[in-house]
Structure 1
């Protein structure tokens, strides 16, 4: 089983960008439930996109980012689908199951905790999988009443500091699902 997954996951990730293509309205035209999120910096400028691709076991995130400051950055799903001002409008990490922050925490991680991303020459190209959330339904749906957002932080997440990994300021934000009206 592990060998099959190790072989199949790279193939699935390679196909993810094509599967997550969206039309001008932002709706997925190739994979039901897939969503592409535009990430914006504090100045409102585009920093690229992250595609969210639902699977039966969780969600694949496929990041194609630019203009990201050099270095390693915390990368988290936040609890509110708003990206206003300094992005504090996105609230804290998405944590519907009331866990501690971080992959190294005994009672962790938050559902919104993701591995750090690294920028080289302002570019981030990364694919990851999280079994801790779903696009809709289940214990940790991203489309709940207050929506959800994706945040890039100025520094690396240490995977254990409470409540959010000591990852620094929020440098980019993208709305996954806006709050319900």
Structure 2
């Protein structure tokens, strides 16, 4: 009976090796995702963002609370640091292609420009945002570049055309974008 078990074990191991080899052949970008814990100027967590590849770019799902009601600009910035209270440590907008700010600007947009987020009277907001100019894989448009990137929420609405930040005002919340799920 032992003679029958040994060949079966070898067959099973060969099948496993084939499966492992197939798994490694999946493109790296397809398995990438990201997340960010969004904090306010006092460093308190007020929200989250999950980031996934989308057929036409990168999808960012944002949920926040404790923000002033109204419309707020939200952008990806070039440095993965969120030091309050002003969040200047997050750097400028993510812009590897050296464009002007805004989807309505004939010389735009930045790769980190996103649509505004609406915050209700209760201080909460939720948005599903698409960035067609950012990726999660390798290359210059990757949010996982050296130095990292951050998601920044501004005090006012983005006008989608005024360089460099759409007249969106001060930075009121920030989250460092990190690889992996949350």
Cα distance in 1 for residues equivalent to 2:167 and 2:64:
22
The alignment of Structure 1 onto Structure 2 pairs a total of residues equal to: 148
Instruction: Give how far 1:56 is off.
Output: 4.2
Cα distance in 1 for residues equivalent to 2:148 and 2:178:
5
Instruction: Give how far 1:164 is off.
Output: 1.2
The 8 Å contact of residues 35 and 178 in structure 2, kept in 1 or not, is answered as no
Aligned counterpart, 2:127 = 126
What does residue range 49-128 of structure 1 map to in structure 2 within 5 Å?
A: 49-85=48-84, 86-120=86-120, 121-128=122-129
Cα distance in 2 for residues equivalent to 1:44 and 1:106:
37
Aligned to 2:37, the other structure's residue is in SS state strand
Moved segments of 4+, more than 4 Å: none
Structure (1/2) with the larger helix percentage: 2
CA offsets 1:45-67 (integer angstroms, 9 cap, x no match): 11110110113431111111111
**TM-score normalized by the length of structure 1:** 0.78
Across the aligned residues of Structure 1 and Structure 2, the Cα RMSD in angstroms comes to 1.5
Which structure has more relative contact order (CA 8 Å, sep 6+)? It is 2
Instruction: Give how far 1:163 is off.
Output: 1.2
Aligned counterpart, 1:37 = 36
Q: Give unpaired runs (5+ residues) of structure 1.
A: 1-30
Instruction: Give how far 1:145 is off.
Output: 1.1
Which range is displaced more, 120-129 or 91-100? 120-129
